[in-house]
């Protein structure tokens, strides 16, 4: 009886694999060498870190009302920014889905989304602070635009995952383009859209903390204020609230996602 030859990886395949692994190692080495990362610095910095933590360990509850108000503002920025970006992402996502629009529409829209994603949110915030002034508005605008870049792409991918069958079935029943979107695409992808949106809201909440640093409203503003005036116990209160909010959001997200199948 002859033994059958089993499939062996070709020379080309093994070369590509090896090259890929080597490239990765080279990249990490390059990043490490340029990073000025030394263990001695870490060790010598340790006491100062402990001291810092010690000062933070006594949160000052007198700032509670300020914290509440600032948290409210951060949540407001994240919420409005997310809601506005849902609207723009939905329409841009439809246009960017390869199965719904011709290539001369979806390709430019994809580029646009990519550009929106590429602009750092903090840069957008700086621009809007200098054009529309301090406060939550520049924060909301920055969050909206930056999230649209990501959500629009995620929505488009969700739309592309919708099965063709139901679309063709409704088309054959006489449905219009919008009816096909509403009754065959949307019902299929709603869980994906919800998951992506909740995740984006979580990101937006954390990102809008940072926006305060450039004067775009919210907790971030007070964090940098207290750090600069060395009031670390007030910073501690703010940090605790932020931690609490992030954990809470994660819980809510999980609960909502479990319900959506």
Partner 1 sequence: MSITTRQVVDGPTLRQQSPNGQTGCLPTEDNNPVIALRNIAVQYAGANSLVLNIDKLTIVRGEHVAIIGPSGAGKTTLLRLLNGYVQPRSGRVNILGKRMNLDSVRGYRDYWTRAVRRRVGFVFQNFGLVERATVFQNVLWGRLGYVNPLGSLVGWFSEKDKVAAMAAIAEVDLLPQTRQRVDTLSGGQQQRVGVARVLAQGAEIILADEPVSNLDPALADDVLDLLSSVSQRRHATLIMSLHQPPLARFYADRVIGLRAGCIVYDEQAARFDDAAIQAIYGREFNMDLSPVGLPTLPRQQHVASAPVQGTP
By the criterion CB under 8 A, which residues form the site for partner 1?
165-166, 168-176, 178-179, 182-184, 187-188, 190-191, 261
Helices (H) and strands (E) in the chain, counts: 11, 0
The C-alpha atoms of residue 158 and residue 155 are separated, in whole angstroms, by 5
Which residue is associated with the tokens 């997200």?
Answer: 253
Compute the distance between CA of residue 9 and CA of residue 251 in angstroms, rounded to an integer.
Answer: 46
Could you say which DSSP state residue 61 is in? G
Q: How far apart are CA 261 and CA 255, in angstroms?
A: 12
Question: Any residues with CB less than 8 A from the CB of 147 and at least 6 apart, and which?
Answer: 81, 82, 85, 89, 200, 203, 204
Q: Report the largest interatomic distance among the alpha carbons of the chain, rounded to a whole angstrom.
A: 87
Q: Tell me the residue length of the chain.
A: 261
């Amino acid at each position: 009886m002859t033994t059958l030859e089993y499939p062996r990886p070709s020379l080309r395949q093994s070369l590509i694999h090896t090259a890929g692994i080597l490239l990765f190692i080279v990249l990490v080495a390059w990043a490490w060498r340029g990073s000025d990362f030394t263990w001695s610095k870490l060790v010598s910095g340790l006491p100062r870190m402990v001291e810092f933590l010690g000062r933070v360990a006594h949160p000052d509850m007198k700032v509670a009302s300020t914290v509440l108000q600032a948290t409210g503002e951060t949540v407001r920025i994240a919420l409005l920014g997310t809601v506005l970006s849902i609207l723009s992402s939905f329409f841009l996502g439809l246009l960017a889905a390869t199965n719904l629009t011709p290539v001369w529409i979806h390709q430019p829209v994809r580029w646009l989304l990519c550009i929106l994603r590429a602009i750092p949110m903090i840069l957008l915030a700086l621009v809007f602070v200098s054009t529309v002034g301090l406060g939550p508005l520049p924060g909301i605008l920055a969050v909206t635009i930056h999230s649209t870049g990501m959500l629009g792409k995620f929505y488009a991918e969700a739309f592309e995952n919708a099965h063709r069958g139901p679309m063709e079935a409704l088309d054959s029943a006489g449905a219009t383009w919008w009816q096909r979107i509403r009754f065959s695409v949307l019902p299929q992808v709603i869980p994906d859209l919800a998951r992506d949106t909740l995740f984006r809201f979580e990101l937006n909440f954390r990102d809008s903390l940072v926006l305060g640093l450039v004067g775009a409203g919210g907790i971030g503003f007070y964090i940098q204020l207290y750090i600069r005036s060395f009031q670390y116990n007030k910073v501690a209160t703010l940090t605790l609230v932020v931690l609490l909010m992030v954990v809470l959001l994660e819980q809510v997200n999980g609960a909502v996602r479990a319900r959506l199948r």
